[in-house]
Structure 1
Amino acid sequence: MKSKAYEIVYELNESKAAMQLYAQLPLTLEVKDFSTNEKTFYPPKTLDIKDAPLANAEKGTLAYYAPWADVVMFYDFYGKGSDLYALGKVVSGKSDIEKLKGTITIEVCQNS
């Protein structure tokens, strides 16, 4: 995920929901603040959570909140939620999640 000033890299898990998010990339959309520990965005298509593990969200967790169909990037501890599903975790840029605002681009990062 990139904004004009920050780049954050996530590693997705192997759930169907994570693969469906991956299939929608690249995306350019608005990231919004929610609560005191997360940033959210809405992918164009809802994700299938059938095999997605429930999240135990901490700083760096990427998750999907099924009732609102939004993707959540946690920049502080949250814990468990009954409708919060893990999509992956941050591998670099963890301290920059909180700084994201406005329009971001989400794209596939090619390993070198």
Structure 2
Amino acid sequence: MSSEVRIKMSFHNQEVIVKMDDHPTSRDFINQLPLTLTFEDYAGTEKISMLTRRLNTESAPSGFDPAAGDFTYYSPWGNLALFYRDFGYSSGLIKLGHIESGREKLADLNGEVTLQRVETGGGESE
């Protein structure tokens, strides 16, 4: 397996780091970075943002039971969802990763957010 991928979500001089899962949907998302998206609160449970194009959902599970800190893609609507509260099983929800640091900052995550891949100096040479 390749090295672990992390993304940084920057907003209002704060940041959240997400450790990404390794599967076709998450890789498709990572390949779109960097992005600046507008996030808003949804249902008092998650922060959501629409993507400009749908992600590859080939071989994705039929649904997911999200917990606080999960970074997901909701395929029926084509949006990202970052959960700050646990939620029940949702058909069409695909886990992309999980917050590694900054989960306590999610209450402030509204408006423009810049998402970019975190480059790690893993000492790899090619």
TM-score grouping bracket, smaller chain normalisation: over 0.9
Alignment of 1:90 with 2:99, yes or no, is: yes
Within the candidate set 3, 6, 10, 2:14 is matched to 6
Aligned-pair CA distance for 1:5: 2.7
Within the candidate set 38, 52, 57, 2:66 is matched to 57
Identify the residue that residue 17 of structure 1 maps to in structure 2. Answer: 25
Identity %: 28
Aligned-pair CA distance for 1:97: 1.6
TM-score (norm 2): 0.83
Distance 1:89 1:47 in 2: 18
Distance 1:91 1:29 in 2: 20
TM-score (norm 1): 0.92
Query: Which has the greater radius of gyration?
Result: 2
Identify the residue that residue 43 of structure 1 maps to in structure 2. Answer: 51
Distance 1:7 1:77 in 2: 21
SS at match of 2:113: strand
SS at match of 1:79: coil
What is the letter of the counterpart of residue 30 of structure 2? Y
Distance 1:79 1:56 in 2: 5
* Stretches of 4+ aligned residues off by more than 6 angstroms: none
Deviations, residues 73-96 of structure 1 (Å, cap 9, x unaligned)? 001101311111111111011111
Alignment of 1:32 with 2:40, yes or no, is: yes
Aligned-pair CA distance for 1:98: 2.3
List alignment gaps of at least 5 residues for structure 2.
1-8, 122-126
SS at match of 2:10: coil
Q: Are the aligned partners of 1:52 and 1:87 in contact in 2 as well (CA < 8 Å)? A: no
Between stretches 14-23 and 52-61, larger displacement belongs to 52-61
SS at match of 2:30: helix
SS at match of 1:18: helix
